[in-house]
Amino acid sequence: MPLTLISSPRFADHVTPPGHPERVERADVLDVVADRWRARGGRVIEPREATREELARVHEEAYLDALEATRGRAVMLDPDTFTSPQSLAVAALAAGAALSGLEAILQDGRAAAKDDGQVAAAAHSHRRALALVRPPGHHAEAGRAMGFCLHNNVAVAAAAALAAGLDRVAIVDYDVHHGNGTQHSFYRDSRVLFVSTHQYPFYPGTGAAGETGEGDGRGFTVNVPLESGCTDGDYALVCDRVIVPVLDEFAPELVLVSAGFDAHERDPLAHMRMSAAGFGALTARLAAAADRHAGGRLLLVTEGGYDLPAFGESLDVVVRVLAGEPVPELHEGAGPTGRGATAVHAVRDAQAGRWHAL
């Protein structure tokens, strides 16, 4: 089966205050998803903790020192973001899970490359991975925790991929909130393409279409701001007209996905109308792009998703799609509303002259 899951029961050891959306029960959902995959004979591996050196590729030393000072204590880092006595170790494990997934993909890719140069379906074996983690990471800035996030898990993985010698890494973030920390990590770096779909205007306030990067990185940040109320059809539209064409032009050697499921129609923290099937369809498009350009190298790292049944259903669909099963049928009323087309026009105006595919 061409998929590795990275999972650990230790993700339940990060405890947030009563009533907090990023609650311990989310770890139970992750465990169930991993157990189901394991029961099917799928590959599930335990993550390791990220090292200080690996975290410092993304985060400032002073910030890592400040986090270290919270070890063993319950601390409020900002109005939304908290630690408990085990949180620092769990956050290092979350970043380490992304790294473990990356290592599994790269190691299996090297093994496949030794197969006399033959191109076969088996060459893509285990070149897809899904890191089932909490706390999430994409809001964490170089020097600041925010938005439930302590370490920027996907940015740590992207930085590790660059350190391993890759030259073109794409990050696609379909969490309903803009991944400000990930954007800022690579805002001046043309080696990393960052593409984000997100409700806008909304928390954290960043992610306008006009935020396109600076210096050498100009044009390599592609923000797709979406009005509230977008459906599966709107997301499919912006994927087909913006995300996939830009990925095809960039031709990444690795595709990373910040896989947040809080754009689901039942999620309490946002106002979108995505379904579990819609997330499956979106993931299938990204997997196909990875197959075309990156030898199948695709790593998803979980972010948000705060209605527990919807979170579990969406993850189950994504796992099935990554395993090669057909994408489920979309429900009635999932067609585009016009909001997606509005976002496409905004992106084309902001990126004029940068991406020929647009």
Q: In the chain, which ranges are continuous DSSP H helix?
A: 25-39, 52-56, 61-68, 87-113, 153-163, 180-185, 232-238, 244-250, 276-293, 308-322, 339-350
Q: How confident is residue 215, by pLDDT bands cut at 50, 70 and 90?
A: very high
Instruction: Give residues with Cβ within 8 angstroms of 110, minimum separation 6.
Output: none
Residue 345: count other Cβ atoms within 10 Å of its Cβ: 11
Catalytic residues: 139
**Distance between CA atoms of residues 135 and 302, nearest Å:** 9
- What is the DSSP secondary structure assignment for residue 11, as one 8-state letter? G
Q: Band of the pLDDT at 333, cuts 50, 70, 90?
A: confident
Are 251 and 164 within 8 A, CB to CB? no
Answer whether residue 301 shows pLDDT above 80: yes
- pLDDT for res 2: 85
Domains of the chain as residue ranges with CATH: 4-350 (3.40.800.20)
* pLDDT reported for residue 109: 55
pLDDT in tens, 334-358: 899 999 999 999 999 999 999 999 9
What mean pLDDT is predicted for residues 187-209?
98
**101-153: per-residue pLDDT in tens?**
999 999 865 555 444 444 444 444 459 999 999 999 999 999 999 999 999 99
What's the CA angle centered on 293, arms 289 and 297, to 5 degrees? 80
Mean pLDDT of 236-250: 98
Q: List pLDDT tens digits, range 244-277.
A: 999 999 999 999 999 999 999 999 999 999 999 9
Query: How do residues 312-329 score in pLDDT, each as one tens digit?
Result: 999 999 999 999 999 988
User: How much is the pLDDT for 118?
Assistant: 43
Closest C-alpha among 250, 254, 258, 182 to residue 219: 250
Q: Is the pLDDT of residue 232 over 90?
A: yes
pLDDT of residue 238: 98
- The span from the CA of 160 to the CA of 112, in Å, is 21
Cα 202 from Cα 139, distance rounded (Å): 13
Q: What is the value of pTM for the model shown?
A: 0.96
